[in-house]
Amino acid sequence: MRDAFIELDGVEKVFDVWRRTGFMKRERHRVRAVDSLSFTVARGEMVGYIGPNGAGKSTTIKMLTGILTPSGGRLRVAGVDPSRERMRLAHRIGVVFGQRTTLWWDLPLIDSYRLMHRMYRIPAARYRENLERLTELLDLGGLLDVPVRQLSLGQRMRGDIAAALLHDPEVLYLDEPTIGLDVVSRTRVRDFLRRLNAERATTVLLTTHDLRDIEQLCSRVMVIDHGRLVYDGALAGLHEAGESERTLVVDLERELPPIEAPAPARVVRVEGPRQWLAFPASASAAELVAKVAARYPLVDLSVREPDIEAVIARMLGPSGGAPEPPQERAGRTPS
Ligand SMILES: Nc1ncnc2c1ncn2[C@@H]1O[C@H](COP(=O)(O)OP(=O)(O)OP(=O)(O)O)[C@@H](O)[C@H]1O
């Protein structure tokens, strides 16, 4: 095992939430957002961190950045306790939230970068060098003087990623970095992250609902549900555990009876000359396409990936994947 850069040992986070239960009455509930969570991430690893809504992903990231203090357990990033030494750690980590921006909305992009230069006290030469490199790699050249509010979502995201990397962080937390982006922007962001990880060995923890982000970037994926780690391994293993399926959509030259597909592939829908074939996500699409093409007159085809939520839901079974984490009633007080 390479040297552990992120270490969690039995980490817990419990929130006290007050719920109104009647006139002048409130009840205290304990929401166990993260429950006995243990894992390590080695320096230079790029790991997907996924789970259903409310599973505890953001809470984990917030504890890793020091914004939240764990209720129990031990947590270290680069040997440092984030909640105790948040400012010291801030110089070593970068964070990108796809749904929010860290940039100043009314200022040109370059002004946000200048402010970060000062906030992080980045030495002038290093700032210039990083700005030049990131501007080139993320294609921001024509955008530096544009106010952030005028940027498209894809441009803004690239601007945010550059902002998170100006101070050369050793670890990057990415929360939905491709959400809402078109295909071109998504590809650009993924290409950049792959390159960043390969060239600078930046450790990356990636939260996403897009399975293709994980597929293209991460050799390892961790699944969290109800605050607990329920899977840690390769994406292929997750597909097997969830028995997830991809769909091959084929357009035939003309309407034909359902294709006799090689098992376990099977036709699940027919609409005129178009047919949908479900097959295990861990199996090769190329093999299936070759077999179908050898027997049927194909005009066009596409492969649809399974939805990440569906894969997790299948893996967790009928009792898993519920949106609410376990709650304990902790007390009752009049308000
Ligand atoms: N500050 C808070 N106070 C009370 N409860 C909270 C707080 N933050 C999170 N929670 C609860 O903790 C649980 C885990 O939330 P968290 O935001 O970590 O989930 P998530 O996996 O990031 O979900 P999503 O995919 O929807 O962003 C949820 O039930 C949430 O309501």
pLDDT-derived band of residue 321, with 50, 70 and 90 as boundaries?
very low
Task: Report pLDDT for 246.
Answer: 85
Pocket test for ligand 1, best of 15, 34, 175, 205 (most atoms within 8 A of CB): 15
Percent of the chain with pLDDT over 70: 93
Q: Which atom of ligand 1 is found nearest the CA of 325?
A: 29
256-273: average pLDDT? 92
Cβ–Cβ under 8 Å, residues 111 and 146: no
Band of the pLDDT at 328, cuts 50, 70, 90? very low
Residue 120 Cα, ligand 1 centroid: separation in angstroms?
29
Q: pLDDT tier at 1 (50, 70, 90 boundaries)? A: low
Answer whether 34 contacts ligand 1 (Cβ < 6 A).
Answer: no
User: What mean pLDDT, rounded, does the chain reach?
Assistant: 87
Summarize the confidence of residues 65-81 as an average pLDDT: 94
Q: Is 75 within 8 Å of 82 (Cβ atoms)?
A: yes
55 lines ligand 1 (CB under 6 A): yes
Q: What is the mean pLDDT of residues 116-128?
A: 92
Q: 14-23, 268-277, 294-303: which range is least confident on average?
A: 14-23
What is the distance in A from the centroid of ligand 1 to the CA of 33?
6
Kindly report the protein residue whose alpha carbon is nearest to atom 5 of ligand 1.
15
Q: For the residues of 4-57, what is the DSSP string, one character each? A: EEEEEEEEEEEEEEEEEEETTEEEEEEEEEEEEEEEEEETT-EEEEE-STTSSH
Number of Cβ within 10 Å of residue 104's Cβ equals 15
| CATH, domain 4-92+169-240, list 3.40.120.10, 3.40.50.300, 3.30.200.20, 3.90.580.10 | 3.40.50.300
Examine the pLDDT at 325 and tell me if it is beyond 50.
no
Q: Which of 89, 114, 118 is nearest to 103 (CA)?
A: 114
Residues 215, 203, 211, CA angle at the centre, nearest 5°?
Answer: 20
Give phi and psi for 313, each to the nearest 5. -60, -40
Q: What confidence tier does 19 reach under pLDDT thresholds 50, 70, 90?
A: confident
Q: Supply the DSSP symbol for 298.
A: E
Q: What is the pLDDT of residues 171-197, one digit of tens each?
A: 999 988 888 788 888 888 888 899 889
- Tell me how far the alpha carbon of residue 54 lies from the centroid of ligand 1, in angstroms: 5
* Mean pLDDT confidence for 53-75: 93
Residue 6 in this model has a pLDDT that exceeds 80: yes
**Residue of the CA atom closest to atom 24 of ligand 1:** 53
Q: How far apart are CA 189 and CA 168, in angstroms?
A: 18
pLDDT for res 235 = 81
Interface ipTM > 0.95: yes
Q: Which atom of ligand 1 is the closest one to the Cα of 34?
A: 14
Instruction: Out of 30, 53, 58, give the residue to mutate to test ligand 1, the one with the largest number of ligand atoms within 8 Å of its CB.
Output: 58
The answer to whether the CB of 40 is under 6 A from ligand 1 is no
Lowest-confidence range among 22-31, 58-67, 235-244? Answer: 235-244
